[in-house]
Structure 1
Amino acid sequence: MPLFDPGAFRIPPGTVHVCAGGETPVLRSHAAAFDRYGADKSMGPASRPRVDEEAERLCARLAAFWSVAPAEIGLVSSVAEGMSILVESLDWRVGDNVVVAADEYPSVVAPLALRRGVTLRFADMMDAESVAAACDGRTRMIAVSAVSMVDGRRHDLAALRRTADGAGAMLVVDFTQASGWMPIEASVADFAFSACYKWMLGITGIAVAYWNRARQPGWAPATAGWYSIAMAGRPDWSQPVALRADAGRFTRGNPSHAGAYVMHAALDFLEAFPRGAVAAHVQGLTTGLLARLDAAGIASTTPRDPARHGANICIAHERAAPIVAAMAEQAVLAWNGRGRIRFSFHGYNDAAELDRIMDALHHAL
């Protein structure tokens, strides 16, 4: 049985929706969230305190969701923006290097790749020895997705934390492919980010930024805006500018207030389920699909061990795009791109859908 009520989502009737790694369907409760935002935004002088309060309250809820302190959570528009703010804030010197996976997501790597003086080093993030061998005295950062979007492998963040500590480097984590189905303990990282429009059931335009203040107490962004500074009343620009003391310093301008209202509705939904329940449900489906693929002789690039894979099951294929399109004609919505077919499960999926997935896949192949 599904863990979530599928009727709570805008899933087209008769459709198997297994593309949470790209986009989840919209919760029907989001409509009321948008209406509430519209009403609060239309209150004249009372509007700004109302919508700002919702953004601040969201940070506290996200902090609990990630098992960290409220002051350590800020809001950005995307992982790419958060990562760029972090990269721009560091005093890079020629010869400094960062260790990443060769197939890491662009939002994590592109800000580093374009930064002068930064050398990228590549390692198998599933192999702590490989990562350690890539590090030296000039390694400033190990940057990794908790779960790979390419093949669904799930990285051992505790092992990477030990490697980073041994190298005197930061550990920066993108939780986009994990947050919402897997319990998150963000304190393993120095900094962490996550988009909200996948398993977290939100929308684009809002993302989570985490600053581990115990590990990086002196961190400050290189740029600021009205929201990220400690300003009361009319500013006196002849005086030094003070940043906010909390992770709100990540948010330079207005946060996505509409996105914050939607995220409250999403968290209302997700928090109704016990911690770990979604992970158990999802990985029951991933292991079930892997077993069916094995029986059919279809190779998957996703590790078999549930402790080493996320909520995605991936198949490398040169015809991924037309295969996924053909499956959509059978009302099975998967995801393609980067030479692979990807099936991503969430709480609205159930075991009965595995047969439909396999039938559609066989037909498309």
Structure 2
Amino acid sequence: MSLFDPTDFMIPPGLVHVCAAGETPVLHAQAMALSRHALDKSTGPAGRAKLDAEVERLRARLAREWSVPVEGIGLVSSVAEGMSMLVESLDWRPGDNVLIDRNEYASVVAPLSVKGVELRFVTMADPDAVAAAADARTRMVAVSAVSYLDARRHDLVALRAAADGVGAMLVVDFTQGSGWMPIEASIADFAFSACYKWMLGITGTAIAYWNQARQRSWAPATAGWYSIVTGPRPDYAAPLALRPDAGRFTRGNPAHAPCYALHAAMDHHERFDRAAVQAHVQALTVALLARLDAAGIPSITPPDPRQHGASVCIAHERASRVVEGMAARGVLAWNGRGRIRISFHGYNDLSQIDPIMAALTAALSD
């Protein structure tokens, strides 16, 4: 049986929803949360105080979720924005380099590439190779905790050691893990995560974590009214002080509506131990991988659940058409980057493996 009650979600009747790595379904409770946001927004100064209070309450909840101090949690619009702010803040010099996997997601790679930073491509699944590629000019090891491409989980402890060996930062994108597996974000110098996948939020807000113990003097290169310390009227003739915490990641108004929606998601999440969610989704990935193997359908996802996340990925030149064929048969998977991705969350259960396999094999034959 499923861990979550599927009727809590706006999943259309008769559909098997297995595309959490792309978009999760919306909770009915989130519609009510967004209505509450609309009411608070409509009630003048008192309502605005409620909006801001919800942001601070969310930061505290996210800090508990990631096992870090609340001072380290900030909010950005997306992982791409947070990573861009970090990259733009650093004093890059000729010869500096970043170690990154060739298959890393664009939100992590693009800010570095556009900035002109030297990228050294190395397989993050091989921490020894990462350590061998690092040198005195390596400024950063950047990695997703779980790969979006093949659902491989990376050994963050070993990558932390490789970064520490040359005094480099470890920057982690937790997007493909946060919401189904326990997160210990303090292993990173900086970490980010989108909130609209397994965290069950909506687009518009993302988590930005600043490890102040490791990077005490960090400051963004730009600021806005929200990220500075001001009185009733700023004295622009004097130096402006940044907020002392990770609130400095948010330059302008926080995205209040997505914060309200994420609170509703966390109300749901906090009913379930994260280790129990991980055990549930990985029981499903293991079951599907076994069925694929029996059917002779190769997967690019490592079979060992200690090495993979909550998705199963199948490389295929007709991935888009196959996913469309699966949807026509009532199974919502995801495509892109030349692979079919089937992703599980707490609202899925083992009884769905049969319809997934039936839809997949039929669509592969189309």
TM range (shorter): over 0.9
**Equivalent-residue separation in structure 2 for 1:317 and 1:158 (angstroms):** 32
**1:275 shift after superposition:** 3.0
Answering whether residue 160 of structure 2 is matched by residue 170 of structure 1, we say: no
In structure 2, what is the equivalent of residue 266 of structure 1?
A: 265
Alignment of 1:183-262 (within 5 A): 183-262=182-261
Q: TM-score, normalised by structure 2?
A: 0.99
**1:76 shift after superposition:** 0.2
Secondary structure in 2 matching 1:168:
coil
Secondary structure in 1 matching 2:45:
helix
**Equivalent-residue separation in structure 1 for 2:254 and 2:301 (angstroms):** 36
In structure 1, what is the equivalent of residue 17 of structure 2?
A: 17
**Equivalent-residue separation in structure 1 for 2:80 and 2:201 (angstroms):** 17
**Equivalent-residue separation in structure 2 for 1:126 and 1:42 (angstroms):** 50
Secondary structure in 1 matching 2:274:
coil
**1:232 shift after superposition:** 1.7
In structure 1, what is the equivalent of residue 52 of structure 2?
A: 52
Q: Deviations over 1:24-56 (max 9, x none)?
A: 000110111011101111111212211011001
**Equivalent-residue separation in structure 2 for 1:260 and 1:88 (angstroms):** 26
**Equivalent-residue separation in structure 2 for 1:161 and 1:281 (angstroms):** 28
**1:160 shift after superposition:** 0.4
Letter paired with 2:33: A
Q: Deviations over 1:316-337 (max 9, x none)?
A: 0000000000000000000000
In structure 2, what is the equivalent of residue 80 of structure 1?
A: 80
In structure 2, what is the equivalent of residue 145 of structure 1?
A: 144
**1:219 shift after superposition:** 0.4
**Equivalent-residue separation in structure 1 for 2:332 and 2:57 (angstroms):** 35
Unaligned runs of 5+ in 1: none
In structure 1, what is the equivalent of residue 287 of structure 2?
A: 288
**Equivalent-residue separation in structure 2 for 1:307 and 1:206 (angstroms):** 30
Secondary structure in 2 matching 1:64:
helix
In structure 1, what is the equivalent of residue 114 of structure 2?
A: 114
Secondary structure in 2 matching 1:173:
strand
In structure 1, what is the equivalent of residue 7 of structure 2?
A: 7
Q: Deviations over 1:145-170 (max 9, x none)?
A: 00001001000111100110002100
Moved more, 37-46 or 330-339: 37-46
In structure 2, what is the equivalent of residue 353 of structure 1?
A: 352
Answering whether residue 29 of structure 2 is matched by residue 29 of structure 1, we say: yes
**Equivalent-residue separation in structure 2 for 1:7 and 1:30 (angstroms):** 13
In structure 2, what is the equivalent of residue 159 of structure 1?
A: 158
Secondary structure in 2 matching 1:29:
helix
Q: TM-score, normalised by structure 1?
A: 0.99
Secondary structure in 1 matching 2:160:
helix
In structure 2, what is the equivalent of residue 98 of structure 1?
A: 98
**Equivalent-residue separation in structure 2 for 1:99 and 1:344 (angstroms):** 28
Q: Deviations over 1:218-249 (max 9, x none)?
A: 00001000000011210011111000000000
**Equivalent-residue separation in structure 1 for 2:45 and 2:253 (angstroms):** 16
**Equivalent-residue separation in structure 1 for 2:263 and 2:217 (angstroms):** 31
**Equivalent-residue separation in structure 2 for 1:104 and 1:302 (angstroms):** 15
Q: Which runs of 4+ in 1 moved over 2 A?
A: none
**Equivalent-residue separation in structure 2 for 1:56 and 1:11 (angstroms):** 31
**1:253 shift after superposition:** 0.3
**Equivalent-residue separation in structure 2 for 1:216 and 1:343 (angstroms):** 37
**Equivalent-residue separation in structure 2 for 1:364 and 1:198 (angstroms):** 25
**Equivalent-residue separation in structure 2 for 1:177 and 1:167 (angstroms):** 27
In structure 2, what is the equivalent of residue 133 of structure 1?
A: 132
Q: Deviations over 1:118-144 (max 9, x none)?
A: 100011101011111221110000000
Structure 2 contact 179–274 (Cα < 8 Å) conserved: no
Answering whether residue 63 of structure 2 is matched by residue 63 of structure 1, we say: yes
Taking only aligned residues, the RMSD between alpha carbons, in angstroms, comes to: 0.6
Secondary structure in 1 matching 2:60:
helix
**Equivalent-residue separation in structure 1 for 2:231 and 2:290 (angstroms):** 60
**Equivalent-residue separation in structure 2 for 1:325 and 1:158 (angstroms):** 39
Letter paired with 1:161: R
Letter paired with 2:309: G
**Equivalent-residue separation in structure 2 for 1:135 and 1:91 (angstroms):** 19
Secondary structure in 2 matching 1:234:
coil
**Equivalent-residue separation in structure 2 for 1:145 and 1:70 (angstroms):** 22
**Equivalent-residue separation in structure 2 for 1:14 and 1:47 (angstroms):** 40
**Equivalent-residue separation in structure 2 for 1:47 and 1:223 (angstroms):** 29
**1:302 shift after superposition:** 0.3
In structure 1, what is the equivalent of residue 276 of structure 2?
A: 277
Letter paired with 1:208: I
**Equivalent-residue separation in structure 2 for 1:145 and 1:289 (angstroms):** 23
**Equivalent-residue separation in structure 2 for 1:18 and 1:275 (angstroms):** 19
In structure 1, what is the equivalent of residue 179 of structure 2?
A: 180
**Equivalent-residue separation in structure 2 for 1:273 and 1:219 (angstroms):** 35
**Equivalent-residue separation in structure 1 for 2:249 and 2:45 (angstroms):** 26
